[in-house]
Amino acid sequence: MLKEHGFVRVGCVVPELKIADIEFNVNEIIKQTKIASENKVQILCFPELSITGYSCADLFHQDILIEKTIKALQTILNETKDINTILIVGAPIRANNQLFNTAVVMQKGEILGIVPKTYIPNYQEFYESRWFTSSKNIIKHEIELFDRTIPFDTNILFRDKENKEICFGVEICEDLWVVNPPSNSHTLNGATMIFNLSASNTILGKSEYRENLVKMQSAKTISGYIYTSAGINESTSDLVFSGQAIICENGNILTQNKEFDFNSNMIFTEIDVKRLINDRQKNISYMQSSETQKEYKEIDICILDEVESLSREYTKTPFVPTNDKKKITVCSEILNIQSYALARRLKAINFPKVIVGISGGLDSCLAFLVAVKACEILNMDKKNIIAITMPGFGTSDRTLQNAKKIIHEYGTTFKEIDIKKVCEQHFEDIEQPKDKFDITYENAQARERTQILMDIANKEGGIVLGTGDLSELALGWCTYNGDHMSMYGINCSIPKTLVKYLIKYIADTSDDNIRETLYSILETPISPELLPLDNNQISQLTEKEVGPYVLNDFFLYHFFRYGGAPSKILLLASETFKDEYTIQEIKEKLELFIKRFFTQQFKRNCIPDGPKVGTVSLSPRGDLRMPSEAEYKMWML
């Protein structure tokens, strides 16, 4: 079940509606509630004044409309008393000689609380203060309905009895548009979700504005924001309504509907409240507000743990841009961060030469391309980049030729230094059998390459540019004081899946010769090439040792970015990769990831400087202060 992992299935409906036809509207609310219940939606929100219709205008002064609304609420309660879904519907409610525009929260035949609207628009096309009063004018914070005393206030939070992190507040339409929305206070006092019942008409550009408003409020409050607005059937006289519905989590739209639909339409997905709480906990500025001083009434709710599978989809490559329209912008920004960071470092140390080892693989290729761009930024001669290929016992002809081609295509200084002879001498010196293909055999080559780079850097008055990536740092897949070391680690926060994406982007925007070479590099199996070849083919495949990088990057993102428990990560990965890997395979790779992540911290504690690019960075000076001796047993599945 998903509740234990912090998931709540929420939904919103833009219902088919007839203005002032309460019977029709109530029947549609009940119908949509039953559909939601069949889909295991746990909290369902309808638009503002959804029982009567928002556009009733002076009809709100008619006794019959208000009295029928109360009877309609009783009908909804009766018809949904056996349904577990929590409903939030909009209704006009009289209290203390005043009429309020309210959200009525109900479950299993009982009204849990009523939240009145605070900010009443009365400008341009809006005349709400002609009919409704603000919650600021409430005299009593309770109301008698159906022989019960019901909380009637804006400062109400609805909190699950079992999982206290599942908690929501409500605001209505204009409340969101003001400088200090009620949801600011709701979330500071514990609400992880905000439901907004709205009736916002549409004009040119307003749909995009609303979308950005919801995204921004969700991001500012680190909350799930569920917004649903009145549909096309509300349109009358001069106003047109489009029926916009959005479910957002911490600034990211999870799902939204198609506007302008005369029929009822519903969207639903899961909000991950544990993820939200984790972000709030890490953001120490979050609670620094006087808003926390408000007094709140908390109402117990019961969210049944009956959702068995996620409807929400997760990308297999969370570090990689998912929006193709933004591909150019995102890739350009990443490469700018890397290249300008390197340019700044070169400027600070008086424009030295850049020494980079080129293997013909992905990481060194990206580091080399960034170095080229940094030289262009500084108007430095590309000959100041000394690109060195160092073939060893496992170097394939393919990678060697690709390394040479990419160096020559960009016109940088080229050196080829074969390390086999010196490694054989080293093996003899330390009494290492030449045919013993163990970790010593492998690491001796990696350290020899680093020694060559460092010594040439001294000789040429340059710096060694590191090539290792974020995924390798997370797994400790680097030789201590070998490829682990440099003067500047340019790829230190670029995971393997993103390295491939960036190289493909550069290939797609390059001329034919460069494109051909880059595509060949992209298609080359990932390998350190430290073990002898098998019929001139690469025999050592990294992903056989540490697991597929697509899985490792997925684990890293959810483990480090959101502090996800391994059981939750296993759930997400099992759903996301169900067509590619079995649960057992994912479990084995996840446990391997966790073990390596913990036991290899000592390598990360002494990594060189390098630019932070995304939200995940493992630098001991920035984002990860972790003991090298920490036990990992508690994280094993």
- Exposure of 523 by Cβ count < 10 A (0-12 exposed, 13-18 middle, 19+ buried)? exposed
pLDDT per residue over 236-260, tens digit each?
A: 999 999 999 999 999 999 999 999 9
- Does any domain span residue 547? no
Report the pLDDT value the prediction gives residue 396, as an integer from 0 to 100.
95
What totals of helices (H) and strands (E) does the chain contain, helices first? 18, 20
Please give the share of the chain, as a percent, with pLDDT higher than 70. 99
Report the pLDDT value the prediction gives residue 535, as an integer from 0 to 100.
82
Q: Quick check: helix, strand or coil at residue 384?
A: helix
Whether 255 and 338 map to the same domain: the answer is no
Distance between CA 303 and CA 163 in Å, rounded? 9
Report the pLDDT value the prediction gives residue 536, as an integer from 0 to 100.
80
Q: What is the CATH number of the domain that holds 407?
A: 3.40.50.620
Whether 371 and 410 map to the same domain: the answer is yes
Report the pLDDT value the prediction gives residue 291, as an integer from 0 to 100.
61
> What pTM does this model have?
0.93
Domain end point (choices 542, 572, 605): 542
- Does any domain span residue 594? no
Whether 89 and 129 map to the same domain: the answer is yes
Taking residue 578's Cβ as centre, other Cβ atoms within 10 Å add up to 11
- Does any domain span residue 282? yes
**Amino acid code (one letter) for 1:** M
Whether 141 and 274 map to the same domain: the answer is yes
- Does any domain span residue 149? yes
| Confidence band, pLDDT 50/70/90 cuts, at residue 199 | very high
Catalytic residue among 167, 173, 331, 423: 173
Whether 231 and 279 map to the same domain: the answer is yes
In this prediction, residues 195-219 reach a mean pLDDT of: 97
Catalytic residue among 68, 117, 353, 373: 117
At 412, give phi and psi (nearest 5°): -95, 170
Whether 125 and 271 map to the same domain: the answer is yes
- Does any domain span residue 604? no
Report the pLDDT value the prediction gives residue 381, as an integer from 0 to 100.
96
Whether 129 and 222 map to the same domain: the answer is yes
| Confidence band, pLDDT 50/70/90 cuts, at residue 293 | low
Count the domains in the chain: 2
Report the pLDDT value the prediction gives residue 492, as an integer from 0 to 100.
97
In this prediction, residues 41-63 reach a mean pLDDT of: 97
Whether 356 and 447 map to the same domain: the answer is yes
Q: Give the CA-trace dihedral at 434, 437, 443, 444, to 10 degrees.
A: 0
Instruction: Give the structural domain span for 258.
Output: 3-301
Is a pLDDT exceeding 90 seen at residue 149?
yes
Q: Which DSSP helix (H) or strand (E) runs through 504?
A: helix 496-508
Is a pLDDT exceeding 80 seen at residue 290?
no
CB 12 within 8 A of CB 44: yes
CB 337 within 8 A of CB 368: no
- Does any domain span residue 635? no
Cross-strand partners of 101: 92
Distance between CA 465 and CA 488 in Å, rounded? 5
Whether 275 and 395 map to the same domain: the answer is no
Whether 505 and 374 map to the same domain: the answer is yes
Domain end point (choices 519, 542, 565): 542
Q: What is the CATH number of the domain that holds 166?
A: 3.60.110.10
Is a pLDDT exceeding 70 seen at residue 292?
no
Whether 46 and 105 map to the same domain: the answer is yes
375 included as an active-site residue: no
- Does any domain span residue 610? no
Whether 289 and 328 map to the same domain: the answer is no
In this prediction, residues 491-502 reach a mean pLDDT of: 97
Q: In Å, what is the CA distance from 33 to each residue of 1, 86, 302?
A: 22, 9, 17
- Does any domain span residue 260? yes
Is a pLDDT exceeding 90 seen at residue 564?
yes
pLDDT per residue over 35-51, tens digit each?
A: 999 999 999 999 999 99
117 included as an active-site residue: yes
